[in-house]
A and B are shown apart, each in its own frame.
Chain A
Amino acid sequence: MIEKALQGGKSYWTLIIILLAVIGVGFLAYLRQFAEGLTVTGLSRDVSWGLYIAQFTFLVGVAASAVMVVLPYYLHNYKLFGKLTVLGEFLAIAACIMCMTFIFVDMGQPFRIPNVFIYATPHSVMFWDTVAIGGYLFLNILISRVVLGSEHKGIAPPKWIKPFIIISIPWAISIHTVTAFLYSGLAARPFWMTAVMAPRFLASAFSSGPALLIILCLILRKYTKFDPGREPIQRLAVIVTYAMAINVFLILMEIFTAAYSGIPEHLDHFRYMFFGMEDAQGVMRTNLVPWMWTSSILAVISLVLLLVPKFRAREGLLALACITVFFSLWIDKGMGMIVTGFTPNPVHTVTPYAPTLIESLITLAVWGMGALIVTLLYKVALTMRKEVEPVRYRD
Chain B
Amino acid sequence: MSQTQTAVTAKSAGLSASHQASEFLTFRLGQEEYGIEILKVQEIRCYEAVTAIANAPDFIKGVVNLRGIIVPIVDMRIKFNLGQASYDEFTVVIILNVASRVVGMVVDGVSDVIQLAGDQVRAAPDFSSNSFDTNYITGLGTADDRMLILIDIERLMCSPDMALFDGGTVQ
Indicate, yes or no, whether A interacts with B: no
- Listed in ascending order, the chain A residues whose CB lies under 8 Å from chain B are none
- Listed in ascending order, the chain B residues whose CB lies under 8 Å from chain A are none
